[in-house]
């Protein structure tokens, strides 16, 4: 009887251990093996930009008038800028929730970031050419490269099927949009782009970070610029409530720290999707790790709301 009970116990323990190991492996498989992020339903657009022209809003609001940026000092001709852009604006569910139902604010935020980008890269000799918006969602930024200038050949990709489907339906075919997956590989030629941007992309990449950096380096021309936003030390000090709540829930060990820990800090909030974490980068980490692949030209804190921008140049 004793031997039978001992055998049963051993088998039960093995089963529990095996189940624990398999559950852990299944989570990793789901995390690394799923190629595309959860997709939203593709909803009808809310209208074209000029539908939302609002003189009162434009005169009462000033959140885009940042002291460090000079593009708005000559008051933009908003009505004309909106008229140039005939592509529809996506529903909030198809634009990562940006600006909720404030469609004009959504459009202005993309125009502001477009103007910031071109102002930042001009000193490095980038004034036009091929532009690739990596993880460009539904065109908050890249639409302005297309409609507000004739100097750019515009490309974009995303790993969310609904975003790419929306883009293919509603943007002109002069904008080259395609679906990439979560693995660091892009179906693009070497040394092809003058400018690559990644807005709120490396804020969510953990293990594959350096491989993606190398892939962006590969597709840039020598001397080309990668314009990449990150969460840095200033982001940590000015953390928005949504991210703060995630840190408190999933990383209580660091939630009360006044200063960002050194290196790279990762807050993982799910295991079954490649979009699974918030990532913070210390400046020294950027210099030590990213600086192996790029010339780190500038790191500007709080340059895109709470995010910093890293201006990276592909060396010879």
Give the model's confidence band at 3: pLDDT under 50 very low, under 70 low, under 90 confident, else very high: low
Examine residue 77 and state whether it is found in any structural domain, yes or no. yes
CA atoms of 48 and 143, how far apart (whole Å): 12
Q: What's the DSSP call for residue 149?
A: -
Length of the chain as a residue count: 316
Q: Residues 6 or more apart from 27 whose CB is under 8 A from it?
A: 271, 272
Token pair of 58 as six digits: 């434009």
Asked whether residue 41 is assigned to any structural domain, the reply reads no
Residue 40 has a pLDDT of 79
Q: What number is the average pLDDT over the span 164-189? A: 96
Q: What is the CATH number of the domain that holds 156?
A: 3.40.50.150
End-to-end CA distance of the chain: 76
User: Could you say which DSSP state residue 219 is in?
Assistant: H
DSSP 29: H
Q: Is residue 26 part of a domain?
A: no
As a whole number of angstroms, the distance between CA 175 and CA 142 comes to 9
Mean pLDDT rounded to a whole number for the chain: 91
Vertex 309: Cα angle to 100 and 63 (nearest 5): 40
> What integer pLDDT is reported at residue 300 of this predicted model?
97
Is the alpha carbon torsion for 181, 231, 146, 55 positive or negative? positive
Which tens digits make up the pLDDT trace of 148-174? 999 999 999 999 999 999 999 999 999
Kindly state the average pLDDT of the residues 19-25: 54
- Residue 113 in this model has a pLDDT that exceeds 60: yes
Q: Which residues of 36-64 are buried (b: 16+ CB within 10 A; e: fewer)?
A: bbeebebeebbebbbebeeeeebeeeeeb
Backbone φ/ψ region at 201: left (φ over 0), alpha (ψ -120 to 50), beta:
alpha
pLDDT number for residue 305 = 94
Instruction: Using a pLDDT cut of 70, give the percent of the chain over it.
Output: 89
Mean of pLDDT values over 282-309: 97
Q: Specify the range with the lowest mean pLDDT, choosing from 19-23, 31-35, 129-133.
A: 19-23
DSSP 8-state assignment for residue 195: E
Give pLDDT, residue 5.
Answer: 44
- Domain membership flag for residue 188: yes
Q: How far apart are CA 133 and CA 145, in angstroms?
A: 10
Nearest to 124, CA basis, from 223, 209, 217, 28: 223
Q: What is the pLDDT of residue 15?
A: 47
Mean pLDDT computed over 179-201: 97
In 46-180, which ranges are continuous DSSP H helix?
A: 55-60, 78-84, 103-121, 142-147, 161-170
Confidence band of 74 (pLDDT split at 50, 70, 90):
confident
Whether the per-residue pLDDT at 18 is higher than 90: the answer is: no
Classify residue 14: in a domain, yes or no.
no
- Top pLDDT among 295 and 74 is at 295
Cα distances (Å, whole numbers) of residue 125 to 6, 215, 229, 296: 75, 22, 20, 16
pLDDT of residue 73: 80
Residue 11 within any structural domain of the chain: no
Q: Average the pLDDT over 238-246 and give the result.
A: 95
Q: Which residues span the domain enclosing 280?
A: 49-313
pTM score, whole prediction: 0.90
- The residue among 199 and 65 whose pLDDT is bigger is 199
Average of per-residue pLDDT across 86-107: 95
pLDDT at 21: 47
d(CA 263, CA 125): 31
Nearest residue to 228 (alpha-carbon basis) of 188, 199, 208, 248: 199
Residue 262 lies in a domain: yes
Assess if residue 182 is contained within a domain: yes
Number of compact structural domains in the chain: 1
**Backbone phi, then psi, for 176, in 5-degree steps?**
-90, 110
């Amino acid at each position: 009887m004793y031997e039978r009970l001992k055998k049963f116990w051993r088998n039960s323990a093995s089963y529990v251990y095996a189940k624990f190991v398999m559950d852990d492996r299944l989570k990793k498989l789901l995390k690394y093996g799923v190629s595309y992020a959860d997709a939203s339903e593709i909803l009808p657009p809310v209208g074209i930009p000029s539908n939302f022209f609002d003189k009162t809003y434009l005169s009462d609001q000033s959140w885009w008038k940042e002291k460090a940026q000079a593009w708005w000092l000559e008051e933009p001709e908003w009505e004309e800028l909106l008229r140039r852009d005939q592509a529809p604006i996506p529903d909030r569910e198809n634009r990562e929730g940006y600006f909720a139902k404030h469609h004009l604010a959504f459009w202005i935020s993309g125009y502001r970031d477009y103007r910031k980008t071109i102002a930042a890269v001009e000193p490095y000799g980038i004034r036009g050419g091929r532009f690739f918006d990596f993880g460009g969602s539904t065109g908050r930024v890249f639409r302005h490269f297309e409609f507000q200038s004739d100097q750019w050949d515009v490309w974009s990709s995303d790993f969310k099927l609904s975003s790419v489907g929306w883009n293919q339906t509603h943007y002109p075919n002069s904008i080259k949009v395609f679906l990439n997956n979560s693995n660091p590989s892009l179906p693009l030629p070497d040394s092809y782009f003058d400018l690559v941007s990644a807005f709120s992309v490396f804020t969510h990449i953990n293990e594959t970070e350096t491989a993606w950096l190398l892939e962006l380096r590969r597709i840039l021309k020598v001397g080309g610029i990668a314009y990449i936003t990150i969460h840095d030390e200033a982001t940590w000090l000015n953390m928005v409530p949504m991210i703060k709540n995630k840190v408190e829930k999933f990383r209580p060990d660091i939630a009360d720290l006044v200063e960002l820990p050194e290196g790279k800090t990762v807050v993982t909030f799910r295991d079954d999707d490649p979009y699974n974490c918030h990532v913070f980068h210390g400046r020294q980490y950027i210099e030590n790790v990213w600086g192996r692949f790029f010339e780190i030209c500038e790191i500007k804190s709080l340059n895109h709301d709470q995010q910093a921008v890293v201006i990276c140049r592909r060396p010879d």
